[in-house]
Structure 1
């Protein structure tokens, strides 16, 4: 396989067109077109669907791009590291992280990482949706209880759990009476009329009636502090309030734990900047406990 043709194919695939790739790279459009055509001929495959104004990867082209773009990037980085005389982390590092974790800790984490690795240009995007790491150009993603993905490897770096909390001024319901509840809009708890909890006295079911729906768990916490109702919240988010007596613990929510994973493309060698970020997370959360995450929250 022609290495230069493969490089030009990935350049066009990454920029979504011959013209855009030519402008970004400074290479002639005709050369890029010829190289891609030669690669298609050598493979006996159509890699792009060419329209009057659009250029779209075929299924085979997408598979080739996903499998080779990372390898080509690693080759470029290896050459640059050898030329610079070492393997110090440098270059752009793109990370996707979920909203709550980003609000709680990512600002401080990113600042600490940037101060330690000044040659790495860190870019963090906050989103809860699943992302295609290769297609969207991410080096790492952080996700809560992610679905298995054969293309990715990773590890759990933090564990948390949901607890039911309320203001000390809010009376606990007796019998079948329902407690006013603050719920996250669209969350699983919003659709339940009762919550199963485990407390020191044993398991019990708490009937609830949502009185307030909010889109952010930080907003939910603040509303619970104000005494509007009870809520299910991550322990890390309310640990300080429980210690200070601003909130009281009604029980642990029955269900799977909250596990935060850091994921990256499955490959044998990691770039120094990715390895540095993984080590930085391990240093920040050595035991991976809710208390460690709570230390980042004001």
Structure 2
């Protein structure tokens, strides 16, 4: 594929007409029209509908524009950065992060990053769903225990685990006698399998309160309405202060937070800068380190 022709096509798609694209680029309108026609011929696809009311992207043209515009912008940025000897990260950086991490830490992280890199325009959205990074225009996503995806690469930058926490006044129960419990969302297991200092144990639960966020669950547990399974980092301060007690660690896979980006993309300077910023904020990547960050 001719990258110059692809660049011209994106220029026309962005401006909505050959005339406006030609004026913006200071190039002949006929040249842009010819280059787009050559791209359509090489692909065997019509990318633009040319009518009396102007241009309209075809379905194939819209898909090509969405998937290649940011790639070409990153190529230009990387070339400019290399020419400038590395340069300073700049431009728009779009990040998707899960709800709990966003509420707990992303505000401080984003603020610190913005102050350190004032030329980057950082945009953070909260999404627990698996977004399509390319189609939705994200540069980086943070996900908890993501499913394997060959199109993405990344790294774990934090680890956590679940602990059953309760107010000290609640009587700890194991076996078949259910404990009053606060749970996140609807459904869930009828019991928790935990590891305690005395060994494995089973805690049957009777959900008396269903709440939609971990912070709401923690607030309810602090008031003594019931016990709950919560990330250790979220209750570590309460456990250390004796405001809550731990009935055991939930058996199961650890909570791993990944920073992911498309493997088919060049790693832009701003994405690399944010990854380095995460590494500096959590050099050990432990639950205790995250708890200390949240308490800071």
Considering the TM-score relative to the shorter chain, is it more than 0.5? yes
Query: Structure 1's 172 and 61: CA in aligned 2 closer, same or farther, altered over 3 A?
Result: same
Indicate if the aligned counterparts of 1:183 and 1:231 stay in contact, CA closer than 8 A. Answer: yes
Contact map agreement 2:141 2:261 (CA 8 A) in 1? yes
Query: Which residues in structure 2 correspond to 1:194-273 (within 5 Å)?
Result: 194-267=191-264, 269-273=266-270
Residue 75 of structure 1: how far off its partner (Å) = 2.2
Tell me which of 188, 191, 195 is aligned to 1:191.
188
Instruction: Name the residue aligned to 2:291.
Output: 294
Deviation string 1:1-35 (CA, Å, 9 cap, x unpaired) is 4433301434566x6x946x968x9579x877765
Contact 1:48/1:57 (8 A) holds in 2? no
For residues 117-139 of structure 1, give each alpha carbon's deviation from its aligned partner in whole angstroms, at most 9, with x where no partner exists. Answer: 11111111111111111111111
User: Deviation digits for residues 85-128 of structure 1, max 9, x if unmatched?
Assistant: 64221111111111100111111111111111111111111111
Query: Are 2:273 and 1:276 equivalent residues in the alignment?
Result: yes
Q: What is the aligned-residue RMSD (CA, Å)?
A: 3.1
User: Are residues 107 and 179 of structure 1, via their aligned partners in 2, closer, same or farther at CA, if it must alter by over 3 Å?
Assistant: same
In the alignment, is residue 152 of structure 1 matched against residue 152 of structure 2?
A: yes
Q: Note if contact 1:157-1:261 (Cα within 8 Å) is conserved in structure 2.
A: yes
Do the aligned partners of 1:93 and 1:121 also contact (CA within 8 Å) in 2? yes
Which residue is 2:98 aligned to? 98
- What is the alpha-carbon distance in structure 2 between the residues aligned to residue 22 and residue 138 of structure 1? 28
Q: Do the aligned residues in 2 keep the contact of 1:159 with 1:257 (CA within 8 Å)?
A: yes
Please identify, of 39-48 and 233-242, the stretch whose mean Cα deviation from structure 2 is larger.
39-48
Tell me the distance in 1 between the aligned counterparts of 2:12 and 2:229: 48
Query: Equivalents in 2 of 1:36, 1:253: separation in Å?
Result: 58
CA distance change for structure 1 residues 3 and 267 in 2, over 3 Å: closer, same or farther? closer
| Conservation of the 8 A alpha-carbon contact between 2:48 and 2:56 | no
Residue 168 of structure 1 aligns to a residue whose secondary structure is: coil
In the superposition, the TM-score normalised over structure 1's length comes to 0.85
How has the CA–CA distance of structure 1 residues 174 and 117 changed in structure 2, closer, same or farther, with 3 Å as cutoff?
closer
Assess, with a 3 A threshold, how the Cα gap between structure 1 residues 133 and 175 changes in structure 2: closer, same or farther.
closer
The aligned counterpart of 1:165 is 165
Note the C-alpha offset of 1:69. 3.9
In structure 2, list runs of 5 or more residues that go unmatched: none
- SS of residue in 1 equivalent to 2:239: helix
Residues 26/214 of structure 1: CA separation in 2 closer, same or farther (3 Å cut): farther
Q: TM-score, normalised by structure 2?
A: 0.86
Aligned residues: 289
Q: Distance in 2 between matches of 1:10 and 1:268?
A: 17
Tell me if the contact between 2:175 and 2:203 (Cα under 8 Å) persists in the aligned partners.
no
Provide structure 1 residue ranges, at least 5 long, that are not aligned to the other structure: none
Which residue matches 1:57? Answer: 59
